[in-house]
Amino acid sequence: MADVIQITPVSLHQQAAGRLRKLLVEGGIVPGAKLNERELSERLGVSRTPLREAIKQLAAEGLVDLVPNRGAVAVKLSEDDVRHTFEVLADLEGLSGELAAQRITDDELAELRALHYEMLACHARADLSGYYRLNAQIHSGITAAAKNPVLARTYRELNARVQALRFRSNQDRVKWSAAVKEHEQMIQALMARDGGALKAVLLDHLQHKRDSVLELMRAGAVYPAAKA
């Protein structure tokens, strides 16, 4: 039986959503699997009411699909879905980088640099969970620094559907280290306020992520058989 995860009563469905999001992104719930409310209620230590609210929230984010006659299912993408999604994400992140280099404040840049150094520490400790959390904050921070709410919203909604795949792409140590070097180039470009350079490295970064994900999918290393 899975360990029960204790949750305080404050913002119960938000906390349930956070724990459930972590399970979905980090592989604790198999892509394509139906979300069993009874099992998840026990695992998260919450009643079904806040759990259902959490599931609705994650469905809105794109991590969960609500399927007629089946209920909530962890999102599972095809190779075509991956290619099409990363194609658009690359352009969105590239534009975000171009705008962020022009519009980022000194305080925002200092925060991104701090997150970057924390991320490097996680990489050195081989803490993939901590690394991914900080990595996602950096990408979101660059998008926020672009000061375009339409761009930020579009990016957030699309990126949610590939979060689990982006997480898995770092499980190869060589590819993980290459991604870290690309992040160092991002910070250098931001510090130089060089929008062209930042756009270029973000485009390369997303293309490398796409290729890593497709390679894992073709090797059968992403989607083990899901329970009905």
pLDDT value of position 226: 44
Residue with token string 């095809």: 78
The conformation of residue 225, written as its DSSP 8-state character, comes to: P
> Which two structure tokens, joined as six digits, stand for 122?
């996680």
pLDDT value of position 227: 45
* DSSP per-residue codes, 36-94: -HHHHHHHHT--HHHHHHHHHHHHHHTSEEEETTTEEEE----HHHHHHHHHHHHHHHH
pLDDT in tens, 144-158: 999 999 999 999 989
pLDDT value of position 2: 52
Q: Tell me which of 223 and 53 has the higher pLDDT.
A: 53
Q: What is the mean pLDDT of residues 20-36?
A: 90
Identify the weakest region by mean pLDDT among 42-46, 73-77, 91-95: 42-46
CB 187, CB 116: distance < 8 Å: yes
The structure's pTM equals 0.82
Q: How confident is the model at residue 5 (pLDDT cuts 50, 70, 90)?
A: low
Q: What percent of the chain has pLDDT over 70?
A: 93
pLDDT value of position 228: 40
> Which two structure tokens, joined as six digits, stand for 170?
């770092």
pLDDT value of position 100: 98
Which domains occur in the chain, in start order?
12-74 (1.10.10.10), 79-218 (1.20.120.530)
Side-chain-side CA neighbours of 144 within 13 Å: the count stands at 12
Q: Report the range out of 9-13, 15-19, 101-105, 164-168 with the highest average pLDDT.
A: 101-105
